[in-house]
Chains A and B, each alone.
Chain A
Amino acid sequence: MATSIKKLPDIEQVLSGNGACGGCPATMGLRIVGKALGSNAIMLLTPSCSVASMGMTPRLGYNWPCINITFASAGSSASGITHALEVMQEKGRLQGELPTVFAWVGDGGTYDIGFQALSGAAERNDNIIFFCYNNEAYSNTGVQRSGATPRGSFTTTTPTGKRQPKKNMALLMLEHNIPYVATAAVAYPGDLYDKVVKAKNIPGMKYIEIQAPCYLGWQFDMPETVQMSRMAVRSGAWLLWEAENGKISFNNPSSLIISGKKDAAPVDEYLMKQGRFNRLLKGPDAESRIAEIQGDIDREIAFIRERAKITI
């Protein structure tokens, strides 16, 4: 059982008065991450919503030292920091418990421009936690398609809906043979909290991806962020799982869907709630395009169900 939201620590690393949109899922996710990591951490960001909303220089809405690094570089810069801290401690220049080094990056900085540096850091198994808050588009620049945008979704650069499926980044990270990979969603804060606490205590590379429905990009009502996140998970469009040393286990409610104990909610209900699928749903080929989206979801479920059986 995941930790109850009522039992999460009182510590707040996301301070009040930042510039995020109301209902911002990234800020919600970061707040839970802060409760798990505590204050002894160094945060890396790349240009994104989380930088744009943390306050103008010199103000800062997060209670960590924060470095905003070049867009492509979260992985390698986190490597630089963790190695520097470790060697300075070996040489006696730093005392006490070393801070957790974590990157907090959107899907553009993870799936696309930051992929190479992230892959390099993972292959080196450098001691960092890399968080991707995935809102499935470049929301900060006004909602353009990314490698994380699902098929059918409208963005300003996919005006008739994206034609290609999204990548499965978490699985790609799993195949880097790193000690810990997890997916999470803002609707399941206890599950996210537990995963971050676990990651914090594992040496080496950790990758945690947080599904983060953005009202602006997805076009739903601002107060419905958590509901959208829950609907995505219940429809199987987003799966909650974690892998320690390559062994996958599923978390509720995704585990019930994977095991067949519970049917996934039909995807159209989830799609109908979002303006980004509107044009597709109103078009003459709506049926076949919804079938394509359902096909992508079914394929991902089938693939990870079988992948999870490999435990050596």
Chain B
Amino acid sequence: MKTAQVIMDTGAHAAALAVKSARVDVVPGYPITPQTSIMEALAAMVENGELHARFIPVEGEHSSMAAAVAASAVGARVFTATSANGLLYMHEVLHMASGGRLPVVMCNVNRGIFAPWTLWADHQDSMAQRDTGWIQYHCSSNQEVFNTILQAFRVAEQINIPVMVNFDGFAISHCLMPLTLPPQEDIDRFLPPYEPEWRLDPAHPSSFSNVTNAPEYAPFRQMLSDDIMASIPLVKQAAQEYKDITGMWDGDTIDTYRLEDAEVVAFAINSMGAELRLSIDILRQQGIKAGLLRPRLYLPFPAEDIITALPQNAQVMVLDRNYNFGHPGGILASELKSILFGCRNDITVKNRVVGIGGIDLTRQFMASEIRAMMDE
């Protein structure tokens, strides 16, 4: 019996190692900071034979997703990665992937959007893809990136919906953290080979995504909407079985910390979720009953789990690393308010936009923000 191996690695390289462990077939890729190192690592793995796959060095992200979608349509397991404007450039083809029910898995390394130009993290890029019909995970550590990519393939292939695994540029992608690599045989047990129900096959000529009339189009869209919601139990099952096999757990749809008796709840995604644990400890030392609720799954928004987890009469402090243009504050706060309306009138929601374009979010800063929000 092989045992897990522990190494020091960056989030980007952890992602590449997970993709290798998933035994993908095709990786189209195009460079963009801070994602580039994932593609570099995968290109090297393919070149030196560590990963039996094809790396397609495409000429842009629109083509990257178009190659991914088409490769998936013939039955290949496909991965790609991008960031910021690369993700925006893909936008049209993201719809093709979800509408076509193709289980592509992609990492988006979160970065602020042009213009003006920034290299650093915020979440405007992935939030702008909210309505593309992709399942979206957001990760708080290098280990979680590794674990989530494997869970993402499983969920995507079970329900034929593409999955985006998001994590912050630099704070996660470029920082070294300890990383536990489960034995390959365990990963193979968790993630069996992809057996598509359908693929483009000359033995069975059929059309894929050609013209429909409303009576055909509408049911396709309804099924997609229903199945995105139906992925929640699969996300939970994947997290649980991954834990049963590897012993590792990052939460399922949500991750919580010191939440049970909390009166003040920090609500945030991605690397903030890791740093906020330390902010919670600071606040607790100051006598404030603080806790954390981090949605690990952003889409579908895990409404039931959030509603159930929030303690009675809690003040929820939403820290949004994005703008909800045309509305005050951020997108996450809007989403939260919409699910609480009418069923949790005991909850107060407060909101700040923080960390835009990579502004550093330290434990002390976030603790003092939360304190200040309490007085508002």
Binding site for B on A (CB under 8 A): 39-42, 44-45, 51-52, 54-60, 62-70, 72-73, 75-81, 83-88, 90-91, 93, 99, 116-117, 119-120, 123-124, 126
Closest to B206 in A: A65
Given contacts A57-B211, A77-B66, 17 further A-B contacts (CB under 8 A): A52-B211, A55-B210, A58-B206, A58-B207, A66-B208, A67-B70, A72-B66, A77-B67, A77-B70, A80-B66, A81-B70, A83-B26, A88-B74, A116-B63, A117-B59, A119-B59, A120-B60
B62 touches A117 (CB 8 A): yes
Q: Name the distance in Å between A209's Cβ and chain B's nearest Cβ.
A: 21
Q: A83–B71 Cα gap in the complex (Å)?
A: 7
Q: Once bound together, how far apart are the Cα atoms of A63 and B201, in whole Å? A: 11
**Bound Cα distance A82, B75 (Å):** 12
Could you list 29 examples of A-B contacts with CB < 8 Å? A39-B202, A41-B202, A42-B74, A56-B210, A65-B201, A66-B208, A67-B207, A70-B62, A72-B62, A73-B93, A76-B63, A77-B70, A79-B63, A79-B67, A80-B67, A81-B70, A83-B71, A84-B25, A84-B26, A84-B74, A84-B78, A87-B54, A87-B76, A88-B76, A91-B25, A93-B75, A117-B58, A119-B59, A120-B60
Chain B residues within 8 Å of chain A by Cβ, number: 43
- Beta-carbon contact of B213 and A56 below 8 Å: yes
Whether B60 pairs with A116 at a CB distance below 8 angstroms is yes
Picked from A58, A73, A91, the residue with its CB within 8 Å of the CB of B66 is: A73
- Give CA–CA (A42, B212) in the complex, Å: 21
Is the CB–CB distance between A57 and B216 below 8 Å? yes
Distance between Cα atoms of A87 and B194 in the complex (Å): 14
Query: Residues of A contacting B28 with CB < 8 Å?
Result: 76, 79-80
Assembled-state Cα–Cα distance A81/B28 (Å): 11
Query: Quick one: given A67-B200, A70-B93, A120-B58, are A77 and B69 in contact (CB under 8 Å)?
Result: yes
- Provide the bound-state CA to CA distance between A87 and B28, in Å: 13
0 or 1 for each of B78-117: is its CB under 8 Å from A? (1 = yes): 1000000000000011001000000000000000000000
- Report A-chain residues with C-beta under 8 Å of the C-beta of B204: 65
Contact B92 A70 (CB under 8 A): yes
B26: A residues at CB distance < 8 A: 80, 83-84, 87
B22 adjacent to chain A (CB < 8 Å): no
User: Given the complex, which residues of A lie within 8 Å of B210, measured CB to CB?
Assistant: 45, 51, 54-57, 60, 66, 68
Q: Taking CB as reference atom, which chain A residue is nearest B64?
A: A76
In contact, A40 and B59 (Cβ under 8 angstroms): no
Known: A52-B211, A86-B54. A64 touches B25 (CB 8 A): no
Complex CA distance for A152 and B256, rounded to whole angstroms = 68
Alpha-carbon separation in the docked complex, A40 to B205 (Å)? 10
| Residue B209 CB within 8 A of the other chain | yes
Docked-complex contact A81 and B74, CB < 8 angstroms: yes
- In the bound complex, residues from chain B placing their C-beta under 8 Å from that of A59 are 207
Complex CA gap A163/B60 in Å reads 31
B52 at the interface (CB under 8 A from A): yes
List chain A residues, Cβ under 8 A from B53.
87
Q: How far is the CA of A154 from the CA of B93 in the complex (A)?
A: 33
Q: How far is the CA of A56 from the CA of B211 in the complex (A)?
A: 5
Task: Report the bound CA distance from A185 to B210 in whole Å.
Answer: 27
Chain A: minimal CB distance from B42 (Å): 14
In the complex the two chains form, what is the Cα distance from A93 to B66 in whole Å? 23
Contact of B63 among A55, A64, A91, A117 (CB under 8 A): A117
Interface hits, B121-144 → A, CB 8 Å: none
B292 within 8 A of A: no
Residue among B52, B53, B62, B208 with max Cβ neighbours from chain A (10 Å): B208
CB of B52, distance to nearest CB on chain A (Å) = 6
Look across to chain A and name the residue whose beta carbon is closest to the beta carbon of B24.
A87
> Considering the complex of A and B, which 9 residue pairs feature the smallest CB-CB distances, nearest first?
A120-B59, A80-B67, A76-B63, A73-B66, A77-B70, A84-B76, A80-B70, A84-B71, A80-B71
B70 touches A69 (CB 8 A): yes
| Residue ID in chain A nearest B96 by CB atoms | A70
B73 within 8 A of A: yes
> How many whole Å from A129's CB to the nearest CB in chain B?
15
Q: What residues of A have a CB within 8 angstroms of the CB of B274 in the complex?
A: none
For B54, give its contact among A60, A64, A84 (CB under 8 Å). A84
**Which residues in B have their C-beta under 8 angstroms from that of A117?**
58-60, 62-63, 66
**Cα separation A79 to B209 with both chains bound (whole Å):** 18
- In the bound complex, residues from chain B placing their C-beta under 8 Å from that of A77 are 66-67, 69-70
Complex Cα distance, B62 from A64, in Å, reads: 26
The CA-CA distance from A57 to B67 in the complex, in Å, is: 23
Q: Which residues of A have CB within 8 Å of B93?
A: 70, 73
Q: Is B319 an interface residue (CB 8 A)?
A: no
